[in-house]
Amino acid sequence: MNNLVKIREISVRYNVSARTLRYYEDMGLIESKRSGEYAYRLYDEAAIKRLEQILILRRLNISIKDIKRIFGTKGSEVVLNVLEKKVENIDEEVSLLHELKTIILEFIEQIKKLDFEKETDIKLLYEKAKDIETQITRADYKGNPAIAERFFAVTEKLNDKVPDITIVRIPKFRAVTSGAMSYDDIFGKFQLWQESHDDFFLPIIFDAPDFLCENNGSLEWIWRIKDEITEADVTPYEIIEHPGGLYAATVSIDGDDESGDKVMQKIKKWIEKTNFVIDGSRATSVHMIYADDEIRKGLGYHQLNFYAPIKLKDDI
């Protein structure tokens, strides 16, 4: 045990949360050690070396699925193939951005030629200035139709990188809560208790019975329980009534913290374009769908869903 490093030390040393370490372990990328009397995960030298490799590849925005391919084969052929494909994708995106820049510059030149003395031209200018893409559909565009069509094609390809957002309504439900936890405790005593009481729980949404919520720098597990479960059954933990409500939901394919942060930023940008706002009275939540073996093999990853609580601006 003396040569093993605690999860807290790994988290601090590499600036990676316990949740991400657990995710990498669930995906079979690293292995931890645990003794019967010690609740937390411990890592040996081989696991730490593997973690360093994972973090390098994630810095390069390599997907978890491709990292599994890399670790699943010997030699450098697969990693070289993955990196070469990444370069091709970057080149394609750069090319699209350059083309989009050219199109926008042409729009600017057309706008400059408008006559400010004409009411119709002023109105057209206003429509174009509001939004490059929507002005084409709202105004009578008299420029080059081929450029307009290419504009839509370019922006559509670029927008493929933005996750789809779904509005879901989750009903109220009874749940047992872990209480506020630090990132270090996320897979500690409460997880051991939960694993020994699997028959207590019901799914919240899809096949997942749990939410992991974040509030003011601390974490909280929320597990939906069956109606017959009482306070005495869950001691030393507590039963709460989860309020449910509206959520903006999307998926992080890789499921670790880095991709999760990006997903949340995109949710917030999407919300800015709607009549919704983030509801600060409820916590942002995530849950992992642990698919059965058949689905898991087909996907090659566990699906991590993000839920941002929202409400109408009028409800502020």
| Contact by Cβ (8 Å): 22, 187 | yes
Rounded Cα distance, 43 and 9, in Å: 10
Question: Looking at the structure, do residues 170 and 311 belong to the same domain, yes or no?
Answer: yes
- Dihedral (C-alpha) 169, 173, 178, 180: value to the nearest 10 degrees? 50
- The reply to whether the predicted model has a pTM over 0.75 is no
Cβ-count burial 73-110 (b if 16+ within 10 Å, e if not): eeeeeebeebbeebeeeeeeeeebeeebeebeeebeeb
Residues 204 and 242 in one domain: yes
**Higher per-residue confidence, 37 vs 167:** 167
Q: Find the mean pLDDT for residues 51-55.
A: 90
Q: In 30-53, which positions are buried (b, 16+ CB within 10 angstroms) versus exposed (e)?
A: bebeeeeeeebbbbeeebbebbee
Which H, E and C letters describe 119-162, residue by residue? HHHHHHHHHHHHCHHHHHHHCCCCCCHHHHHHHHHHHHHHHCCC
Q: Are residues 259 and 273 in the same domain?
A: yes
Lowest mean pLDDT among 51-60, 148-157, 208-217: 148-157
CB of 33 within 8 A of CB of 58? no
CATH of the domain at 200: 3.20.80.10
Residue ending a domain, among 131, 159, 187, is 159
Percent of all residues in the chain with a pLDDT value above 90, rounded to a whole number = 23
Q: Which of 14-18, 235-239, 279-283 has the highest mean pLDDT?
A: 235-239
Are 155 and 171 in the same domain? no
Q: Please indicate, yes or no, whether residues 173 and 274 belong to a single structural domain of this protein.
A: yes
CB 49, CB 8: distance < 8 Å:
no
Residue 248 and residue 167 in contact, taking contact as beta carbons nearer than 8 Å = yes
Q: Are 282 and 170 found together in one domain?
A: yes
Per-residue pLDDT at 164:
77
* Residue 302: closest CA among 288, 315, 316: 288
Average pLDDT value for the chain: 78
Phi, psi torsion values for 282, nearest 5 degrees = -125, 160
- State which residues form the domain around 116: 77-159
Residue pLDDT, tens place only, 127-145: 655 554 444 444 344 444 4
CB within 8 A of 178, min separation 6: which ones?
Answer: 190, 220, 221, 222, 237
Q: How many CA atoms lie within 13 A of 122 on its CB side?
A: 4
Overall average pLDDT of the 200-223 stretch: 85
Percent of the chain with pLDDT over 70: 72
Residues 211 and 124 in one domain: no
> Would the pLDDT of 313 be above 80?
yes
3-state helix, strand, coil in the chain (%, to 5): 50, 20, 30
List phi, psi (to 5°) of 24.
-60, -35
- Using only the alpha carbons of the chain, give its radius of gyration: 25
Q: What is the domain count for the chain? A: 3
From 140, 159, 178, give the residue that closes a domain. 159
User: With the C-alpha atoms ordered 288, 203, 270, 145, is the resulting torsion angle positive or negative?
Assistant: positive
Q: Do 67 and 128 share a domain, yes or no?
A: no
Q: What is the mean pLDDT of residues 35-41?
A: 65
User: Among residues 159, 188, 220, which one ends one of the domains?
Assistant: 159
| Bigger pLDDT: 191 vs 144 | 191
One domain for residues 139 and 206: no
User: Which residue type is seen at 287?
Assistant: H
Output the domain CATH number for residue 26: 1.10.1660.10
**Are 179 and 302 found together in one domain?**
yes
Same domain for 108 and 33: no
Say yes or no: 287 and 262 in one domain. Answer: yes
User: For residue 201, is pLDDT > 80?
Assistant: yes
